Amino acid sequence: MSGSSRQDGKHGSERQRLDPFVVATGDASPRDQRDLMERPFFSLSKTPRIKPILYKAADVEVQVLGMPEHGMATIWDADVLIWAASQIVAAENHGLRTSRFFRFTPYQLLRGVGRPTGNQQYLLLKASLARLQSTVIATTIRNGVQWRRRQFSWINEWEEMTTREGRVEGMEFVLPEWFYNGVVDRSLVLTIDPDYFRLTGGIERWLYRVARKHAGHQPHGWLFEISHLHDKSGSLARISDFALDLRRIALRQPLPGYRLSIEREGRRELLRIRPVQQFTVPVDEPVNSIGRSGATGVGTSGAGLSADRAHGPQLTLWPETRNPATNLDSNRESNSSLLARGKRGRGAGAAGRRTP
C-alpha cells in the first residue's frame, strides 16, 4: 500500500504506542515456545479447518477458533511465531531492546525458516499472516492463580509497506502479549533443530515439537500412550488412522535428533521417543526428568485428515530394547491412564521426583 494509506491504517493501532523492533539480519538459532510445543494450538492439515479445537487436561484449557474466510492457523503458519521468538531471544542475548512490534522484510523471515524467497512464497506468507491474525485462541495457560481465561490472536495486526509502484519495502506485525511474555521468560523457550523446517507432514512437525518438549536430551526419552497423543494433537482423524500415521512415521524415522518406536502393553499401544546424538543446536536447559504421568481429563476436536498419510512409502522399524523405566509423575499432562495404572502395579516403587 502507499505511504499515505499506510499512515491512515495506523489510526488506533498499537504501533502508535510501541517502539518498533527492527530486525537487523534475520539470522538466529531457531527457538520455540514451550506452551505451543505441547498443546494443540494449530491445525495439522493444509486443508482449511473451521471446526474448533477444544482441549482440557487437568487445570489447562485451550480453545482455538478458525474463521471461515481464512481457516485456522496451521502448524506451518507457526513458523512465523518460531521465527519471531528466535529473533527476540537473539536480540536480547546481544543486549538489544525488543518489542511486540516487529519491522522486517519478507526475505528475512522466509530465509530464517528455510523457505525460498520468491514471489510465490511471499504470497503464501501473506496468507499465513492472515490466518494467524484471524485465528482466535482462548486459554487458561499462564493466567495466574485466579485461573482466568485469556483470549487473543497470534498476530494483533500486520501490514505490508509498498511503494506506489507495488514494490514491497517491508512488513510489520504486532505480537500478542501472551506470546511475547512467554518468549521473554527464557525458561519457557527451547532451541529446536533447524531441520525441523524441512519436515513436510503436519503430524511430523507436531510430533517433533512434542519430542523436543518432553523427551529433550534424556537418554531414555519419553513414553506416550497413543490414545493420549491423539487427544493432545487436536487431530480430526480417527484414532485408528492417527495410530497408523504414527506407525508409518516410526518406520521412516524422519524427526531430526529423535528415534521413535512402537511398544505395546496388553491392548495399549505406546510410542517411545528417544533422543539420538545428532543434535545440531545446544540445549538451553534440561527438561524434566523422565516420569510416568497422567491427565485427569482430555477433550478435543482435532484437525482434518492427518497430513502424513499423503507421503511416500515407509522404511523398516528400528529394533528397540525395551526400557523398563517409564514416565513417572513429573508432568501430569503427558499421559492419560498410565499414571494410575503405574501406581497400582508398583506401589512405593512407582514414586518419582515431581515437578510443578
The three state secondary structure string of 64-80 is EECCCCCCCCECCCHHH
Structural contact between residues 293 and 331, judged by C-beta atoms closer than 8 angstroms? yes
Give 168 or 273, the one with higher predicted confidence. Answer: 273
pLDDT greater than 60 at residue 313: no
Whether residue 196 has pLDDT greater than 80:
yes
> Residue 149's pLDDT is what?
75
Residue 189: what are its φ and ψ, rounded to 5°?
A: -125, 140
pLDDT tens digits for 232-291? 999 999 999 999 999 999 999 999 999 999 999 998 999 999 999 654 454 444 333 333
Burial classification of residue 44, based on how many CB atoms lie within 10 Å of its CB (0-12 exposed, 13-18 middle, 19 or more buried): buried
Average pLDDT in the chain: 79
* CA dihedral (134, 137, 138, 141) positive or negative: negative
pLDDT of residue 136: 97
pLDDT digits (tens, 9 = 90+) for 49-94: 999 999 998 888 999 999 999 999 999 999 999 999 999 999 999 9
> CA 125, CA 130: separation in Å to the nearest integer?
9
Q: Is the pLDDT of residue 293 over 80?
A: no
Query: Which position has the grid cell 519419553?
Result: 222
pLDDT beyond 80 at 127: yes
pTM score, whole prediction: 0.77
DSSP 137: E
Between 266 and 301, the more confident residue is 266
| Amino acid of residue 235 | S
Split at pLDDT 50, 70, 90, the class of 224 is: very high
Q: Give the residue among 218, 228, 233, 309 at the shortest CA–CA distance from 271.
A: 228
Secondary element (H or E) of residue 274? strand 268-275
Are 304 and 296 within 8 A, CB to CB? Answer: no
